[in-house]
């Protein structure tokens, strides 16, 4: 007899013990079947899993289990992105060394992942903070240095003048340091860079050969790389030539001034001579370094007394210093054509600089420079007031001007990228040390391979000001590998994006301490399916692609792209509630502490705190986070409902790419479904064994149910395997269960059809809710363990239909429906539609203009 109450705790413990015993999640290069590498983005060990993790790893597990049922040799690994800022913050707050905090978190989160029943091969686990992992960061960095792919130059960073510390962008709040409240400044410091721009063209072009990536991610990456063809133009001045880059060389005759960034050498030269300019340059040093901040600040500038010559006319143009010119793009200088550029236009209007119209729309007249309300920026233009270039279109104008500039050695065509090289130095403790030694005599000396890894001391505790490594003599003091004299070890560590740029390769060979990767990498990679948050669409994914190509060019692997298919999941959101305290601070309240009041229409009208009944402010939806106090602890849910219910709700609530709003009520709905399924199957099996199915002897009702079973097999396979719409797969299975339980249960063949249906439901549902399905499989009398079972195949005979339902429209409006034989001809369908009683009133007395027949769907009668 099968237990008639669903007990998730019992069921899940049994299933997990069974999988553990059989090593069900272990992977081997020798196992049969075509390899399938299913990878989820590795978590940062922040302490506990959050719902975003649960969503991410459930999606990966569903795909893993589905592919395994389809005969693939699947690898699903897991690891920890274990270096990073939060460990240092926790250390400052709790005085626990980052290493201990991190390893404790990993242990807890590993337990959580296991309790959710994910089929992860734990033998390949990697933590990026382990020396046996990060030594290969260091090793490969040295190879890049040898090849000229890594180099050193200065970079602009956020500087907290009180703590004397570099701040992460996240640590700058409203232009002030998060701990000191001091106004943040920009500061130039030396930094190591990786030359990702050397791969800009390949990174861009290869996007066209990634059909398994979402269009939006490819588009964002393409725009991020930002390849533009243009002309580099030189503006001579008394002691040199000012270079600018422009994509609009056709408008060169309309340039009325030039502008340079505050950090530009000419700006600094002007500042040295004029205190007002020096003050402006100093003002530009205030504030943070993010592009968003730079782009939204008010456009400001200051005139210098310097002049440059127009390269074609020789006209003297004034030189301005402007905060809207970015030192990091192009040459840090622009030619300003206010009549044909948004930013130049706004700037010129503000400072009363002249406009000169030099292009017009084809067929139209040139706009009057004095009255124009907005610049003409289209490239569909004809040149005018440009002397010999008049009448040329955009491309011809660019070509002619570029040719003339080249003849004077004052310009040439050039490709410019928005993409910048990747600065990897971080003035942080909890990261991978950069393997460089600074010698007073020999300069920057790479640490020899035999001395790798440069091990990070794990027992230091940062205090918030500066990098504790720099104060730790045992680490800093060393001998120069070249000359042996006392030297100083580099104390900067690497950007954690370095760690996550190749971890997925290490899973293939995490036991190999003699090499970064070995031949197994070419077996498992590229990753067949990568799954992670949309927030990583650009940086992590682009760095990983770059890193792969760099490794390929050093003959370490044989593939060009790391991820064949990419699924970007949406974020998990929850409501945010807060109160402002008298002191002005914000107190956030968990949605579980808040009671919502609804108006008569069911809309939320007010929110009050349960403990005091007084109102709280509703701040809308936001990603779950500790700071907003709106996270939901997955562990509490697993304990209350079981892992299967949590997994089922996650997959059912929304398609993976959309944001998901948290709802506890929905979780109960998921649990209800599993209970209903359990009850239905226990009633079925407790009646005794079902007889064999005789497909030739089925009643019409039995045939209808059996057709739905096989239609559902087709749909769920397509939804999971191709569309990744797990929500619609689950909905179809729910419909099937509803149909089975509503069908009568009288004859032996009724029971035979139901046995087939319940077996199919168990198989179809198993990737989503594997524990409960394992029990149901056994209860249904199926041999062996479900984890070894194959995905069901639909029976073509069961899918056959004799007649079709077609919808009938008149002028596009639904008026009725007809049933026609599957092999009915067009005329028969038209006749049936016209004679349908519910359609007749709308057709009578009118002229039938045409009849549109969409086979298998509808008939539209067009009348007048």
Q: How far is the CB of 241 from RNA (least distance, A)?
A: 26
Q: How far is the CB of 603 from RNA (least distance, A)?
A: 6
Over the window 487 to 526, marking each residue x when it contacts RNA by CB under 7 A and - when it does not, the resulting string is: --------xxx--x--------------------------
> 739 burial class (0-12, 13-18, 19+ CB within 10 angstroms)?
middle
Among 452, 534, 609, 820, binds RNA (CB under 7 A): 534
Which of 99/730 has CB closer to RNA? 730
Total Cβ atoms within 10 A of residue 849: 10
Q: Which of 476, 489, 475 is nearest to 445 (CA)?
A: 489
Among the residue ranges 7-15, 536-544, 589-597, 754-762, the one whose residues contact RNA (CB under 7 A): 536-544
Over the window 73 to 102, marking each residue x when it contacts RNA by CB under 7 A and - when it does not, the resulting string is: --------x-xxxx----------------
Among 189, 327, 554, 799, binds RNA (CB under 7 A): 189
Among 539, 578, 596, 834, binds RNA (CB under 7 A): 539
Cis peptide before 105 (omega within 30 of 0): no
Q: Which of residues 135-164 bind RNA (CB under 7 A)?
A: 155, 157-158
> What would the two tokens of residue 157 be?
């960073």
The single residue listed with the structure tokens 């003849």 is 407
For Cα atoms 400, 402, 408, give the angle at the middle one, nearest 5 degrees: 110
Among 31, 111, 279, 295, binds RNA (CB under 7 A): 295
Considering the rule CB under 7 A, would residue 812 count as an interface residue with RNA?
yes
Over the window 14 to 53, marking each residue x when it contacts RNA by CB under 7 A and - when it does not, the resulting string is: ------------------------------x---------
- The site that binds RNA (CB under 7 A) totals a number of residues, namely 106
Among the residue ranges 450-458, 647-655, 755-763, 789-797, the one whose residues contact RNA (CB under 7 A): 647-655
Among the residue ranges 289-297, 348-356, 446-454, 608-616, the one whose residues contact RNA (CB under 7 A): 289-297
For Cα atoms 420, 423, 428, give the angle at the middle one, nearest 5 degrees: 155
Rg (CA), the chain: 34
Which of 79/397 has CB closer to RNA? 79
Report how far residue 681's alpha carbon sits from residue 676's, in angstroms, rounded to the nearest whole number: 9
β-bridge pairing 848-854 and 617-623 = unpaired
Report how far residue 15's alpha carbon sits from residue 638's, in angstroms, rounded to the nearest whole number: 15
Among 153, 276, 580, 723, binds RNA (CB under 7 A): 723
Which of 236/669 has CB closer to RNA? 669
Q: How far is the CB of 305 from RNA (least distance, A)?
A: 30
Report how far residue 567's alpha carbon sits from residue 209's, in angstroms, rounded to the nearest whole number: 16
Over the window 545 to 584, marking each residue x when it contacts RNA by CB under 7 A and - when it does not, the resulting string is: --------------------------x-------------
C-alpha distances in angstroms, 596 versus 392, 444, 599, 610, 629?
A: 66, 62, 10, 9, 17
Considering the rule CB under 7 A, would residue 361 count as an interface residue with RNA?
no
Considering the rule CB under 7 A, would residue 607 count as an interface residue with RNA?
no
Which of 466/655 has CB closer to RNA? 655
| Cβ pair 531, 54 in contact under 8 A | no
Considering the rule CB under 7 A, would residue 456 count as an interface residue with RNA?
no
Report how far residue 184's alpha carbon sits from residue 289's, in angstroms, rounded to the nearest whole number: 9
Secondary structure of residue 168 in the 3-state scheme: coil
Report how far residue 761's alpha carbon sits from residue 740's, in angstroms, rounded to the nearest whole number: 10
Which of 404/711 has CB closer to RNA? 711
Considering the rule CB under 7 A, would residue 210 count as an interface residue with RNA?
no
177: β partners:
172
Report how far residue 400's alpha carbon sits from residue 252's, in angstroms, rounded to the nearest whole number: 11
Report how far residue 516's alpha carbon sits from residue 494's, in angstroms, rounded to the nearest whole number: 17
Which of 481/655 has CB closer to RNA? 655
Which of 673/791 has CB closer to RNA? 673
Total Cβ atoms within 10 A of residue 766: 23
Q: Which of residues 652-711 bind RNA (CB under 7 A)?
A: 652-655, 658-661, 663, 665-666, 668-670, 672-673, 675-676
Which of 128/510 has CB closer to RNA? 128
Which of 483/852 has CB closer to RNA? 852
């Amino acid at each position: 007899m099968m237990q008639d109450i669903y007990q998730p705790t019992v069921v899940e413990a049994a299933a997990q013990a069974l999988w553990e015993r059989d090593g069900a999640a272990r992977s081997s290069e020798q196992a049969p079947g075509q390899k399938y590498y299913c990878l989820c983005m590795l978590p940062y060990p922040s302490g506990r899993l959050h719902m975003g993790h649960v969503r991410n790893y459930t999606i990966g597990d569903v795909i893993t289990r589905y592919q395994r049922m389809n005969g693939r040799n699947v690898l699903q690994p897991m690891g920890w992105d274990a270096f990073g800022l939060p460990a240092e913050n926790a250390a400052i707050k709790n005085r626990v060394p980052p290493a201990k905090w991190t390893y404790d978190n990993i242990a807890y989160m590993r337990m959580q992942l296991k309790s959710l029943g994910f089929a992860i091969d734990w033998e390949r686990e990697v933590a990026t903070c382990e020396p046996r992992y990060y030594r290969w960061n260091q090793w490969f960095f040295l190879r890049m240095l040898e090849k000229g792919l890594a180099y050193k130059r200065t970079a602009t960073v956020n500087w907290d003048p009180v703590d004397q510390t570099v701040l992460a962008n996240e640590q700058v709040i409203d232009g002030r340091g998060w701990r000191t409240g001091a106004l943040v400044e920009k500061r130039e410091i030396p930094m190591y860079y990786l030359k990702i721009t050397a791969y800009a063209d390949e990174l861009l072009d290869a996007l066209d050969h990634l059909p398994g990536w979402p269009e939006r991610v490819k588009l964002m990456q393409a725009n991020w790389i930002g390849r533009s063809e243009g002309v580099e133009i030189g503006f001579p001045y008394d002691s040199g030539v000012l270079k600018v880059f422009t994509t609009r060389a056709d408008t060169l005759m309309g340039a009325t001034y030039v502008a340079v960034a505050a950090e530009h050498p000419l700006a600094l030269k002007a500042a040295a001579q004029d205190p007002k300019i020096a003050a402006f340059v100093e003002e530009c040093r205030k504030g943070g370094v993010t592009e968003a901040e730079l782009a939204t600040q008010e456009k400001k500038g200051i005139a210098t007394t310097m002049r440059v010559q127009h390269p074609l006319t020789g006209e003297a143009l004034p030189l301005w210093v402007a905060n809207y010119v970015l030192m990091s793009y192009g040459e840090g200088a622009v030619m300003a054509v206010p009549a044909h550029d948004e930013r130049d236009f706004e700037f010129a209007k503000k400072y009363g600089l002249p406009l000169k119209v030099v292009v017009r729309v084809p067929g139209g007249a040139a706009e009057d420079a004095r009255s124009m309300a907005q610049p003409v920026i289209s490239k569909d233009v004809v040149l005018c007031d440009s002397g010999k270039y008049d009448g040329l279109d955009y491309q011809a104008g660019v070509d002619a001007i570029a040719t003339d500039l080249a003849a004077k050695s004052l310009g040439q065509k050039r490709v410019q990228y928005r993409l910048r090289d990747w600065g990897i130095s971080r003035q942080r403790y909890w990261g991978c040390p950069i393997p460089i030694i600074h010698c007073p005599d020999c300069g920057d000396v790479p640490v020899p391979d035999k001395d790798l890894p440069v091990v990070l001391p794990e027992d230091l505790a940062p205090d918030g000001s500066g990098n504790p490594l720099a104060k730790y003599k045992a680490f800093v003091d060393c001998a120069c590998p070249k000359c042996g004299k006392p030297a100083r070890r580099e104390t900067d560590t690497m950007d954690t994006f370095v760690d996550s740029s190749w971890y997925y390769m290490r899973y293939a060979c995490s036991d190999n301490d003699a090499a970064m990767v070995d031949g197994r990498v070419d077996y498992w990679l590229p990753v067949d399916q990568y799954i992670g948050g949309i927030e990583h669409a650009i940086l992590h994914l682009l760095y990983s692609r770059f890193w792969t190509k760099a490794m390929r060019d050093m003959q370490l692997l044989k593939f060009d792209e790391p991820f064949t298919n990419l699924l970007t999941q949406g974020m998990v959101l929850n409501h945010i509630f807060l109160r402002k305290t008298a002191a002005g601070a914000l107190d956030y309240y968990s949605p579980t502490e808040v009671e919502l009041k609804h108006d008569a229409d069911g809309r939320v009208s007010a929110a009050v705190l349960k403990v005091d009944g007084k109102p709280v402010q509703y701040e809308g939806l936001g990603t779950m986070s500790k700071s907003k106090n709106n996270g939901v602890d997955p562990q509490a849910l697993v304990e209350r409902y079981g892992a299967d219910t949590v997994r089922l709700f996650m997959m059912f609530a929304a398609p993976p790419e959309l944001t998901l709003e948290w709802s506890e009520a929905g979780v109960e709905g998921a649990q209800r479904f599993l209970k209903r399924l359990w009850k239905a199957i226990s009633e079925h099996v407790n009646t005794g064994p079902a007889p064999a199915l005789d497909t030739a002897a089925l009643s019409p009702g039995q045939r209808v149910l059996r057709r739905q079973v096989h239609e559902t097999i087709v749909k769920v396979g397509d939804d999971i395997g191709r569309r990744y719409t797990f929500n619609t797969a689950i909905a179809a299975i729910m419909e099937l269960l509803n149909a089975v339980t509503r069908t009568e249960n009288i004859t032996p063949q009724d029971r035979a059809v139901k046995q087939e249906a319940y077996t199919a439901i168990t198989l179809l549902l198993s990737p989503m809710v594997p524990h409960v399905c394992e029990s149901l499989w056994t209860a249904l009398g199926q041999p062996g363990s479900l984890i070894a079972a194959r995905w069901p195949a639909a029976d073509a005979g069961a899918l056959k239909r004799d007649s079709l339902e077609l919808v009938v429209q008149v002028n596009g409006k639904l008026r009725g429906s007809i049933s026609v034989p599957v092999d009915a001809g067009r005329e028969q369908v038209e006749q049936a539609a016209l004679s349908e009683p519910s359609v007749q009133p709308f057709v009578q007395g009118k002229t039938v203009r045409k009849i549109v027949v969409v086979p298998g769907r509808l008939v539209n009668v067009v009348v007048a």
